[in-house]
A and B are shown apart, each in its own frame.
Chain A
Amino acid sequence: MRSSSYATWLNKQMEAPTSKTAVQWLYDSGYGDVKDYSYYYNTYPVEFAVWKDLMSAPDAVRKRVALALSEILVVSMNGPSMKTWNSFSFANYWDILNKNALGNYRQLLDDVTMSATMGLFLNITDSQKEDPASGRLPDENYAREIMQLFTIGLYELNNDGSLSPNSTSPKETYTQDDVTNLARVFTGWVQDGSAKWVQVPGGWYEPPIENNIRPLVLNNDRHSFKAVTFLGKTINQNTPGKDALKAALDHLFNHKNVGPFIGKQLIQRLVTSNPSPAYVNRVANAFNNNGSGVRGDMKAVISAILLDDEARNLTNLTNSSFGKLREPMLRLVQWARTFGATSKAGTWKMLSTSDPALSLGQSPFSAPSVFNFFRPGYIPPNTALAKSKSTAPEFQLVNETTVGGYLNYMQDVIEKGVNCPDPKDRHLKFFGYDWKFERDIVATYAKELALLGNAATPAIATAEATALVNRINLLMCGGQISAATQSKMVSALTSPPLNTSSTQRQREQRVWSAVLMTMACPEYLVQK
């Protein structure tokens, strides 16, 4: 009965309708206005849209899965930029991830491959057919990375994620030859340039938003019609480009590796860094067949991940090697959602949190490369994890700088909120042009403050502090903070205890302290 009530709740969450798309939000906020060149030359508006979605969108599960997918099918604002309207390009990509997060992985592969964003990021739109006269060959970037990162990985896998046939003599999935062949399939796909260019106030014309958000279209003059043989599949010469693309993506999608390769990474993003092979196997099975004969059903995969016994079994709370380090940007999102921090001005002008010394060292769509912020196989050197060869991907972001940057950033934000440039004004000045920062994404901690109302006696103050710590523990980490740690926190909050002449600020300081102590302690940082 208990498990079916979790499943019911999860289902309801997954069915929550999607909020406004990011592209629509950009339009509605005026960021598509061609009269302002700061709009078409800046990427910031999409940062606002994504933070708004992460911190406040009602369909939280979909958003969470979309963010996890953004760390597998990676595009990054640190890569090349569209000449104009780069914000719309990334907004459209975020919308694609959201549209398919609880849909089907095959459709996701289609939409991602045909996005102008990925087209630029991994050089699809640059790629042309071979030219014997000059020796030019198709660009191999997407062909390699779609195999290595988005579908099958480097080695053959068993359904439980272990190397096939075994770990001492693993078998490579693809060769350079497969890459060179597959590269032909992606040639000729270019941005849809059919929309008219827009005239800007200066008088000249710029490419329109539509070029960045419409699916790619095929230019047959640039497409290679040579035969393609890759991974044992042959696509005959002169096959129409659209059919060749479908055949290639179908072939990749149906490879037995996809279930365990993608399934295991999603477990790592959502639950634990080192899932057991049996857990991976169950999740891969859900990918392979959702129970109604459908392959790639994301709802089935996510349900399998979140409802699995390994994810929910209480014994894992004390399993010393279970869990995962919460990602820095997710800790901030959790703070915002837990304490109702939203943009007071409604503009969500929140910028990147990438700076490792002054901020979180991580920000949405800001990975250093297509290999994400961290690798699924990262083993932190000089640690007990290295001795047991256990992966802990998120530790790739942990070093002497980032542990300090995070604490300093949170100490400031918990008290004062996030600093935003000119939040009351949707208009966007260029970077460095006289920005005036104000705290706009602020938590008021109303419910937490209400717990600290009375404090008539030290005993009551202690009881109230205990209730405060309990509440934050429950909301932020499911009550996983130990009694010993809670007792330390309560003692800190009652040395000295609040009393009837305490000011509102003193109460607020107690709340901030409880939140900071929670968000700093390792029992919170490691999600179990």
Chain B
Amino acid sequence: MNFIQPDKHTRRAFLRRSGQLAFTGAALPLAMNLAAFGEAAAFNATDYKALVCIFLYGGNDHYNTIVPYDTTNYDLYNKIRGGGGASNSIALDQANLQRTLLKPTVALPDDRQFAFHSDVVLNAYGQPITKEMSGLTGLFNSGKAAALFNVGPLVVPMTRADYNNRDRYRYPLPPKLFSHNDQQSLWQSSSPEGSSEGWGGKIGDLALGSNSNSAFTCISITGNAVYLSGERAQSYQVSKNGSVKIKSLDESTVYDSTAVKNVLRDLVMEGRTNILENEYNIVTKRQVNSGQRVNDAIGKFPANTAPFNTIPGTNLGDQLKMAARLIAGRNDLGTKRQVFFVSMGGFDTHGDLRGSHAELMRQVSEVMTGFYNATTALGVANNVTAFTASDFGRTLVNNGNGSDHGWGGHHLIVGGAVKGAAFYGTPPPLSITDSSDANDQWHVGSGRLLPSTSMDQYAATLAKWFGAADTELNGVLPNLSNFGSSAYPRDLGFMS
């Protein structure tokens, strides 16, 4: 089953044509006056906005992230996840969840309530220690964070009956469900592994003209991923400590020789006939051309000064610390619209769910809260929106000490422009049986959620806030045109 082909939108056609001009892959250096070509300019932003995608690799257990709290639903959750005995239960204790109870401005229907993760686990010395998402609870309840229920890749709106229906032409499924690498790619680019354009890069394409140096539009502070690659926009990688200065190209000599330094510089940046050789050198050239500018920009905002030093020093924390410094240095970088990509691994909790997930959730909460506070101190809290994404959610069923691959999951959006203290999407019923009961229509077995909101709608809502016009969203998200009914709105409403 093929994904429906993207519209041959005028924006994309124009960008593709202009792409022919720069075959070396270097980004357009100057703001292009697209209106001069008879096309509507994407956006000429005067204010600053940044999207920060926080990808949780492995498939985050959403059931233990945003946890049923009201008695009816907690009991169902506890019965299913309890595992029949305390020793291998993956259900969190309700008593702890009291501290992380979420208080939306408007209560959910049917008296449903939810809490963020909170648990008491054993530390390395065997002592009990509380790990919970206290920071994000505070942000949610004060209106700076929102939660989106049951979101995941869909080609078309789909019920359980549609899922069971064998007519895959009328009811197409996303490809390669439950496969880590393909679902990661699907979330980032609407296409499975092998994809070369992500939606973060495509909204970057629209924003290139807003930045005086388009090279810094899309910045990754983690390993290679397709998310930030657009047709023109390219992912620029910065390490947690800044841009790597290449000694041999930067200093005046190599092993005391100027001649060697000069030849080396030629060899690592020259164009080559062999395609692989050429592409490798292009990356080095990009680093040499842009690295110093990055380091100059962030050099004014050292990591060990406020507000950056309040972001916890974990792997994810260090990445967001660098993002904060880059945001602080935006004027020097000449950027008004940026998309960042950071990530954290370890979420594939088939085993030791309680212990490992507790630490993951604690870190995510502390880091996202620290990052939000840093943006507040920098005066850009309303201009920066961070959001989570993951391969998939997980099964509700307990496999003995963990959960297995799922599909739909819950996610979080944090920032001053977020309409927080609110839930979006539809909270799913809790069931694992295979019946025609209403409660069994929202999972596809073992509590694997059938998404009631598509990842395209999630992305479209963020892209719209970022500045993409409604007519441009279909080009960014190929499946978006299959949605738009009142049950699957293009704008989920969580951004102000």
Q: Which residues of A approach B to under 8 Å, CB–CB?
A: 78, 80, 122-123, 126-128, 131, 133-141, 144, 148, 154, 168-169, 176, 179, 273, 320-325, 356-357, 368-369, 371, 375, 377-386, 389-392, 395-405, 407-408, 411, 415, 485, 488-489, 491-493, 495, 506, 509, 512-513, 516-517, 520-523, 525-526, 528
Contact = CB atoms under 8 A, between A and B. Distances in A.
B260 A398 contact: no
A492 B268 contact: no
Contact of A415 (B180, B255, B264): B255
B171 interface: no
Given A141-B350, A401-B237, A492-B257, A520 B276 contact: no
Nearest to B251: A411
Contact of B400 (A128, A357, A492): A128
B345 to A, nearest CB: 6
Nearest to A139: B399
Contacts of B178: 144, 176, 179
A78 B264 CA distance: 35
B412 to A, nearest CB: 23
A384 B260 contact: no
Interface in B86-142: 88
B236 A521 contact: no
User: What are the 6 tightest A-B residue pairs by CB atom distance, in nearest-first order?
Assistant: A134-B84, A381-B229, A404-B244, A522-B277, A399-B237, A495-B259
Contact of A408 (B226, B247, B264): B247
Nearest to B274: A320
Nearest to B89: A134
Contacts of A78: 345
25 contacts: A122-B350, A126-B351, A126-B400, A135-B397, A136-B84, A137-B399, A137-B404, A141-B351, A144-B405, A320-B273, A368-B345, A380-B224, A380-B279, A381-B198, A383-B279, A385-B275, A399-B237, A400-B243, A404-B244, A404-B245, A411-B254, A492-B263, A516-B255, A517-B264, A521-B267
B247 A407 contact: yes
Contacts of A123: 350-351, 402
A464 B325 CA distance: 51
Nearest to B236: A400
B80 interface: yes
Interface of B: prevailing SS: loop
Contact of A520 (B177, B239, B258, B268): B268
Contact of B280 (A144, A488, A495, A525): A525
Nearest to A355: B239
B320 to A, nearest CB: 17
B248 A516 contact: yes
Nearest to A187: B400
B164 to A, nearest CB: 13
A262 B201 CA distance: 33
Contacts of B245: 404
A261 B402 CA distance: 30
B47 to A, nearest CB: 28
Contacts of A509: 255-257
Given A323-B276, A520-B248, 6 more contacts: A126-B402, A136-B84, A356-B223, A385-B279, A399-B283, A528-B274
A352 to B, nearest CB: 15
Given A133-B84, A375-B193, A381-B226, A404 B291 contact: yes
B73 interface: no
B148 interface: no
Contacts of B275: 320-321, 384-385, 390
Contact of A323 (B57, B274, B287, B352): B274
B180 A369 contact: yes
A330 B351 CA distance: 33
A322 B182 CA distance: 26
Contacts of A273: 276
A487 B102 CA distance: 70
Given A80-B351, A369-B57, A375-B181, A134 B85 contact: yes
Contacts of B235: 381-382, 399
A146 to B, nearest CB: 13
Contacts of A517: 260, 263-264, 267
B234 interface: yes
Contacts of A488: 263, 266-267
Contact of A526 (B88, B274, B446): B274
Given A491-B263, A522-B272, A522-B274, A399 B224 contact: yes
Contact of B196 (A382, A405, A495): A382
Given A320-B273, A491-B263, A521-B267, A80 B352 contact: yes
A139 B397 contact: no
Contacts of B248: 407-408, 411, 516, 520
A405 B177 CA distance: 36
B33 interface: no
A136 B432 CA distance: 11
Contacts of B229: 381-382
Most-contacted residue by chain B among A381, A405, A491 (CB, 10 A): A381
Interface string B279-311: 111111011001100000000000000000000
Nearest to B448: A176
A509 B261 CA distance: 12
B277 A526 contact: yes
A140 B404 contact: yes
A514 to B, nearest CB: 9
Contacts of B440: none
A492 B248 CA distance: 14
Contact of A398 (B193, B280, B402, B445): B280
A169 B2 CA distance: 8
A287 B255 CA distance: 49
B79 to A, nearest CB: 8
A30 B401 CA distance: 36
B342 to A, nearest CB: 14
B262 interface: yes
A337 B193 CA distance: 36
Contacts of B404: 137, 139-141
B196 A379 contact: yes
A122 B147 CA distance: 31
Contacts of B2: 168
Contacts of A324: 276
Contacts of B238: 400-401
Nearest to A321: B275
Contact of A135 (B80, B198, B236, B246): B80
Most-contacted residue by chain A among B249, B257, B276, B399 (CB, 10 A): B276
B401 A126 contact: yes
Contacts of A411: 247-248, 254
Contacts of A136: 83-84, 88, 397-400
Contacts of B281: 522
Interface in B155-185: 176-182
